[in-house]
Amino acid sequence: MKEVKSITQRRQARKQSLFLKQFRKMANVSHSAQAAGVSRQLVYYWRDASPSFAKRMLDAENESRDYWDDFVLKSMCELAREGSRQMQKHIRKEYGEKNLKAIMRGNNLASEGIEA
């Protein structure tokens, strides 16, 4: 009986690992659960039953958010430099004229110490 439990635990660990790998990319529980071959309900059960898994899930979500925040900021800067007046107007309004000028010189918001 011990061996069966061990196989089940290894299978669960593998499914959790697959889920977290996908979750790091998109921070979407439904999509990540489907990619790992488990239900959303099972993911929430793991999170609620295991503080360790809950922490790994939160860490993966934060990594995903950091990645996408950086991606959006870089995209905004590129659009502003390419002449998008709408993006320039948005950056000026949200981050100020000084930061817009820095971006137009080729810097990005992160290099100016600005975060989303």
Report which secondary-structure segment, H or E, holds 35: helix 29-36
Contacts of residue 12, Cβ cutoff 8 Å, sequence gap at least 6: 46
Give me the tens of pLDDT residue by residue for the chain, a chain 116 residues long. Answer: 455 668 889 999 999 999 999 999 999 999 999 999 999 999 999 999 999 999 999 999 999 999 988 888 888 888 888 888 888 888 889 888 888 888 888 765 555 565 54
Pick the closest to residue 104 from 69, 78, 75 (CA basis): 78
Domain positions in the chain are: 1-49, 64-116
* Contact indicator for 68, 26 with CB cutoff of 8 Å: no
* Contact indicator for 39, 82 with CB cutoff of 8 Å: no
Q: What is the pTM of this model?
A: 0.69
